[in-house]
Every structure is written in structure tokens, then in C-alpha cells.
Amino acid sequence: MDTRPVGVFDSGMGGLTVLHECLVTMPHEDFVYLGDAARLPYGPRPLEEIKSFAREIAVYLEAQGVKLILVACNAATSAALPELQSELAVPVVGVITPEAHAAVQATRNRRIGLLATEATVSAGRYESLLRTLDAGVEVHQVGCPALVPLIESDDPYGAATVDAVREYAEPLQAANVDTVILGCTHYPLIRRIFQRVFGREVTLIFSAEETAREVAETLARKGIENDPSREGRYRFLSTGDPEPFRVVGARFLQLPISEVEHVALADLQAAA
């Protein structure tokens, strides 16, 4: 059995929605989660800059002794996943592939929408993967720069969020998509708003469960699972202010967060 923890990172707190599913799927594993709150949001940044941030964090986590790294950030997965997989010694899993598979399986009219950050849309990885899985699929992408700040605000379910979702949904509704990928780990927190705007006829895809399953299968395939009879532990790191992360993060994780450790950006940069 391998007692090393699984490393998880995101630009902020959105990846905690994925970590929640990992904790449910693998209750015997230990996890360490790093949120890069000091540089949030990643979405408007150039892909090369996001790639450098992702590399710093991944190398830092590897130096901390993790056995697998989960990139629980759609923008970082889009910008850096192949490079991280080739450079690091530990396995690296991202969040895009499970969502693309789920969307292709769910669509009935082969018209798929993507709501994501600007960086994720511009990287084009979703469209490329969806077309690889089904060459005949139509992909309609919309960048949503306002959503992450609204979701992390004090009023994530307010009128401003509803108005923003309606605005971003409009071109997808006009394209008659029947499946929409929520391509940012923040978005599940307002899933009910998306469902209200799109209605039951549209299938929403956020594959935290599939991502967690991929992590579990990777650990099993590599023979690096922890003892299944134990209860796992988890710890949290943030490059930003630990207290807001602790308070707001519990909303994303849906579990208590007792302590958050601060990590200086200089430490990440030094590790890389």
C-alpha cells in the first residue's frame, strides 16, 4: 500500500467541488489541496502564463511527496496537461477528458455547448477532443468571464449571477444544443441556476464523479492505492489569505475546513 497523499490544485476554490467527489470515491486516501488564490482568476490570463503557474504548483506538490496530481482546474488542464504528464514522474490527471466523454455519450442531436473561462475556450482542447470522439458533433463555445468572480462573491445566487447565466446561455439556446458542458470547476456551485435557465431538456455535464473515478482507476492500475480499511485525511494550502479560503471553501467542499496553510508564491517559483 502507498501512504503518500494525492495532490490536487486549482486556481482557487472551484476545484474543491472535484475534491469532494474524490473524498467520497476514495475515503481511504489522503489528499493535499492547493488553491492559487493569489493569482485568481486564471481565465483571463494568457495560456503560457497559466502553463507556467500550473508547472510551478505541480512541481511543488511533487516535491511535497504526492503520488498523483489531479489538475482540478479546466484552464490549467487546457493549458498545461500534456506538458505536466511528460515532465513529472508521478501520474497527472486532468478534468477535461471525462467531461468530453460524458457529453458525447449524453447528446442526442450532436450539438454540444461549452460554458467555460476565456482561457479554456481559447485553448480549444474541448473542441478538439469532442471532435476526436465524434467527428460529426457541433461544438458551440462561450467564454464566461463574469461567472468565477460572482460565484466566489458573498452573493453567488443573486440576480447578477442569474442575469450573467442568461446572457451566456443565449447563444447556446439559439444553436439548439441539447448538452452543455460546465467547463469550470466553480460552475457546479450554481448548477441549479444553469438548470433553471436551460430547462430539463438540456443535459448539464460536470463530471467530477467521472474524474474521481479516473483518479481511483489510475491509482489501482499503478498499484499505489492506500489501505482501504483506513479513513483518509486532507489538508489545504493557499497562496492567498487562508481565512477567506477556509470560510468560503467549505461552501465548495460541503465539508468543514478547520485549517488552511499559507504558501508563498516565492516557494512555488523556487520549487519550479
Contact between 95 and 137 (Cβ < 8 Å): no
CA distances from residue 32 to 92, 195, 234 in whole angstroms, order as listed = 14, 32, 6
Gap between the Cα atoms of 3 and 5, Å rounded: 6
CB atoms within 10 A of CB 25: 16
Catalytic residue among 96, 184, 215, 263: 184
Catalytic residue among 40, 61, 73, 202: 73
Gap between the Cα atoms of 185 and 169, Å rounded: 17
Is 73 among the catalytic positions?
yes
Q: What is the DSSP string of 170-224?
A: HHHHHTT-SEEEEESTTGGGGHHHHHHHH-TTSEEE--HHHHHHHHHHHHHHHT-
Half-sphere exposure at residue 69, Cβ-oriented, CA atoms within 13 angstroms: 31
Catalytic residues: 73, 184
